[in-house]
Amino acid sequence: MTAPILQTRGLTMRFGGVIAVNGVDFSLQEAELRCLIGPNGAGKSTFFKCLTGQLRPSHGDVLFRGHSIAGSQSHAIARHGVGIKTQVPSVFDGLSVRENVWLAAARVNPGRLADTMTDAALQRVGIGAIAGRMVGQLAHGQRQLVELAMVVAPEPDLILLDEPAAGMTDDEVDRLVDLIKELNKRHALVVVEHDMQFIRRVARTVTVFHQGAILVEGDVADILVDARVRDVYLGRQAA
Amino acid sequence: MSRLLPVLGNIAVLVAGLAALFGLPAFAETYVIINATIFASFAILALSLALIWGYAGILCFGQAAFFGLGGYTYAVAAINFGDTTGAAALAVALPALFAALLGYFMFWGRISDVYLGVITLTVSLILYRFVNQTAGEQWNIGEAPLGGFNGIPSTPILNWPGRPGEQLAPENIFSLAAGLLILVYFGCKALLATRFGRVVVAIRENEARVALLGYDTRRYKLAIFVVGGAVAGLSGLMFANSVFVSPTMFSLPVSGQIIIWVIIGGLGTLIGPVIGCILMQVLTNWLGTLNQVPGFGWVDPNLVLGVILMVFVLLVPKGLMALAADAVRWVVRNLPFPRRGKVPEGRKGDVRSASATGSHLESVHTSPFRRFAPPSPSGGRKSSA
Ligand SMILES: Nc1ncnc2c1ncn2[C@@H]1O[C@H](COP(=O)(O)OP(=O)(O)OP(=O)(O)O)[C@@H](O)[C@H]1O
Ligand SMILES: [Mg+2]
C-alpha cells in the first residue's frame, strides 16, 4: 500500500465540554474518493475545519503526505494543495462569479494563465453563462457551484466537499456527480453528504461519523445495510 | 455603454482635476487658493481612508494619527535640514513606517475589527495628548520646538528642490496639492486593478475564504494599511504647507471628519469621499460665516454637520455616489423615447455581465457598518432537515 495523502491520528476537537471530534484515526489514499456521512452534529464539519486550519485541534495530528499540518494557518495548508468547499457557501458576494473564480486561480498562477484556468473552471462546473453575475444575487445552488469552481480552479491534490449538493436542482446534482467522478481521476476527495441517493451514485468507500468518532468504515453497499448505521443515521432519516 | 461608463468617469475626474489645477491659480484670490489647498490636502486624507476602509474593510478610527505624524515629521525635519525636499520624503516615509509597526501588531495578533477601531483611535489620542504637552525647551527636536498646544507656527514652506530659501508661492503649493490629489486618486485606481488590489477587495468580502484559497491575508492587510498611512502622511505634508502643524491634526474631530467624508461620499468608491470631503469643507466654511450674520448666531456648524451625518447614515447609507448612480439609472430607464440599438435576445446575458464586471470594484455595501453586523446565514436547504 502506498503512503496516504491524508492521515489523522487521534484527532480531537473540544469546545468547552463538547467533544465535537473525538480521537479520529482517518486515512485517505492518493486519488481516493471517500464519502463521509453521519447524523447532524456528528462532527463532520468540525473535522474538515481541523484539516484546513480553520480550527486548531485540541489533540492529535494531521499529516498531509507525511508532513504534520495540525495547527498550521489556513493559507499555509491551502498552499500544500488542499481545497475546501464549506457547508455554508463561503464566497465573495460583492464580486462577480468570474472574479470569484479568478481569485482562486490567480493564487497558483498569476498572469494570463490565471485567466485561462478561470475559464476552464467555469466551463467545467458549467457556470460560464452566469460568469458576469454578482454572486450575492445567486440562488443557493448556484452559489454552491461558484464555490465548487473556486475549489476546482487551482487543481488542489486534495478536495474536501461539505454537503455540496444542498440546495441544488436535479440537473445541477447530475452535473455535480459527473464532476466528482471526473475530478476523482486525478484528485483525492472527501465528500460529506446527507443525501443517500447522492452517496449511492458516487461512493465506493464510506466512513460513518457518530458523536465525533468513526463508527464504521467500509464498502458503500455494506455500510448502507449496516444495522448500527441504520440506528444512528438512516433510522433517524426515515423517521 | 456600461463598458464606457468607467472610462467616461475617469475622463470626467481628470478633466475636473486639471481644470481646478490650472484654472484656479489663474483667477482666484490668494485666500481662495489657500483654502483650496487645504481642501485638496483633506481630499487626499479622505482617499487614504476610502482606500483602507472602503476597499480593504479596515475601519481605522485613528487615520488622523498618520496625518499628524506626516505634518509634524515634515515641520521638524524641514526646520532642522534647512532644505525641505528630504523633509517631504520623510513626511511620507515615517507615517508609513509607523503604520507598518502598528499594522504588524494588529494583523499578526488577529484582533477583531472592533478592537482594531479601538486601538487605532487610542493610538491617535495618545499622540494628541503627547504632542499637546510638548511646550518648552525640553521638547525641542534639534532646532525645532514642538511647541505643545500651539504647534509649530514657523512650519517652513516647501522650497524648490535643491534651492533652499526659494519658497514655493501659494499658487505653486496649490498646484502641487491638486496634482498630488489627482495622482493619488489614479494611483489608488491602478493599485486596486492589480492582483494585489483584487485580493484586498476579496478580503473585505470574505477574509476566511481568501485564506482558504492560500493567500496570507495578514500580509495584504498590512500592505494596504501602510499605503493608507503613507497617503495620510502625504496629506499631512500638504496641510502643513497650507496652514501650519498643530496638535489638532491628531485630534478626534479630524479622525471623525474623515469617516464622515467617506460615509457621505460613499463607502467603496474613491471619488465619493473626495466629493464628500470638499462638500463638507465648503459647507463648514459657509456655516462659519453664516454664524456671523445677525439673526443666524444660533447656527452651530457642528450641530448641522451632525444632523447631515445622521440623515446620510439613516437615509442614504450608500452615500452620494450610489445616490447619483441610482438617479442616472432612473432617468435612463424612464426616458420617454425608446432606446437605440435593441439588444439581441441571445446577448442579453453578456450585456448584464459587462455591467457587473465593470463595476466590481466600486462595490455594494448596504451599510457603512456592515463589517460589524453578524454574518447572515444563507438560507440553504439542509438535506437532512
Ligand atoms: N464553534 C463551536 N463551538 C461550540 N460547539 C461547536 C462549535 N462548532 C461545532 N460545535 C458542536 O460540535 C458538534 C459537531 O458539529 P459539526 O458542525 O461538526 O457537525 P456536522 O456533523 O457537520 O453536522 P451537520 O450534519 O449538521 O452539518 C455539534 O454538537 C456542534 O454543536
Ligand atoms: Mg456540517
Helix or strand or coil: residue A175? helix
Residue of A146, A53, A141 whose CA lies nearest to A92: A146
Give, as one character, the DSSP assignment of residue B159: B
Report chain A's C-alpha Rg in angstroms.
Answer: 17
The per-residue pLDDT for B339 is 54
Residues of A in contact with B383 (CB under 8 A): 163, 165-166, 193-195
Model confidence at B374, pLDDT cuts 50, 70, 90, reads very low
pTM of the predicted model as reported, rounded to 2 decimal places: 0.87
Query: What's the CA gap between A196 and A38, in Å, rounded?
Result: 11
| Cβ-Cβ contacts under 8 Å, A161 against chain B | none
Mean pLDDT of B38-57: 96
Q: Is residue A143 lining ligand 1, measured as CB closer than 6 Å?
A: no
Residues of B in Cβ contact (< 8 Å) with A98: 353, 357
Confidence band of B13 (pLDDT split at 50, 70, 90): confident
pLDDT over 70, % of chain B: 86
Residue B76 covered by a domain? yes
Check if A139 has its Cβ closer than 6 Å to any atom of ligand 1. no
> What pLDDT, on a 0 to 100 scale, did the predictor assign at position B369?
40
Domain that holds residue B271: 4-290+309-335+348-362
Specify the pLDDT at position B359. 37
Looking at residue B294, its pLDDT comes to 77
Of B125, B119, B358, nearest to B254 by C-alpha is B125
How much is the pLDDT for A124?
A: 92
Q: How far apart are CA A208 and CA B84, in angstroms?
A: 72
User: Does A210 contact ligand 1 (Cβ within 6 A)?
Assistant: no
Strands (E), B50-187: 140-141, 144-145
The answer to whether B219 faces chain A, any CB pair under 8 Å, is: no
Say yes or no to pLDDT of B365 above 70.
Answer: no
The residue whose CB lies within 8 Å of the most ligand 1 atoms, and thus the one to mutate among A11, A35, A36, A46, is A46
Burial degree of B330 (CB within 10 A; 0-12, 13-18, 19+): exposed
Helix residue ranges, H only, B53-141: 63-81, 85-108, 113-132
- The whole-angstrom distance between B13's CA and the closest CA on chain A is 24
Predicted pLDDT at A233: 67
Closest C-alpha to ligand 1, atom 12: A20
Cβ-based contacts under 8 A for chains A and B: 122
Q: Is the pLDDT confidence value at B281 over 70?
A: yes
Where does the pLDDT of residue B16 fall: very low under 50, low under 70, confident under 90, or very high at 90 and above? confident
What's the pLDDT band for B222 if we cut at 50, 70, 90?
Answer: very high
Distance from CA of B357 to the nearest CA of A (A): 6
Which ligand has its closest atom nearest to the C-alpha of A43? Answer: 1
| A46 touches ligand 1 (CB under 6 Å) | yes
Cβ-proximal residues to A226 (8 Å cutoff; 6+ apart), any chain: A208, A216, A218
d(CA B208, CA B212): 6
Q: Is residue B382 part of a domain?
A: no
Query: Which residues on chain A are in Cβ contact (under 8 Å) with B195?
Result: 106, 110
Residue B368 lies in a domain: no
A54 to B214: CB separation less than 8 angstroms, yes or no: no
Query: Under a CB-based contact definition with an 8 Å cutoff, are residues A26 and A214 in contact?
Result: yes
Contacts of B166 (CB under 8 A, 6+ apart): B159, B160
| CB atoms A165 and B383 under 8 Å | yes
Q: Flag whether pLDDT at B184 surpasses 80.
A: yes
Instruction: Return the bridge partners of A59, or none.
Output: A12
- If you average pLDDT over residues B345-355, what whole number do you get? 37
Does the structure show a pLDDT above 80 at B26?
no
Residue B324, pLDDT above cutoff 60? yes
Q: Is B349 on the interface with A (CB under 8 A)?
A: yes
Q: What is the mean pLDDT of chain B?
A: 83
- What angle do helix axes B63-81 and B85-108 make, rounded to 10 degrees? 150
- Kind and range of the H or E run holding A83: strand A82-85
Does residue A22 line the site of ligand 1, with CB under 6 A? no
- Closest-CA residue, ligand 1 atom 6, reads A15
Distance (Å) from the C-alpha of residue A196 to the closest C-alpha of chain B?
A: 10
Query: How close is the Cα of B228 to the center of ligand 1, in Å?
Result: 39
Band (pLDDT 50/70/90 cuts) for residue B337 is: low
Tell if the CB–CB gap between B378 and A133 is shorter than 8 Å: no
B198 vs B31: CA distance, rounded Å: 41
pLDDT for A81 equals 94
Q: Is B340 inside any structural domain?
A: no
Instruction: State which residues of chain A have pLDDT below 50.
Output: 237-239
C-alpha cell at B151: 504647534
Residues by chain with Cβ below 5 Å of ion ligand 2: A 45, 87
Regarding the beta carbon of A232 and ligand 1, being less than 6 Å apart is answered: no
Q: Is A15 in the pocket of ligand 1 (CB under 6 A)?
A: yes
Here the cell at position A170 is 436535479
Top pLDDT among A211 and B321 is at A211
pLDDT at B311 over 70: yes
CA of B149 relative to ligand 2 center, distance in Å? 59
Q: Which atom of ligand 1 is nearest to the CA of A209?
A: 21
pLDDT at residue B378 greater than cutoff 60: no
Q: Into how many domains does chain B fold? A: 1
Burial class (CB in 10 A: 0-12, 13-18, 19+), A36: buried
- Distance, CA A45 to ligand 1 centroid (Å)? 7
- Residues in chain B, overall count: 385
Please give the share of chain B, as a percent, with pLDDT higher than 90.
45
pLDDT value, residue B341: 47
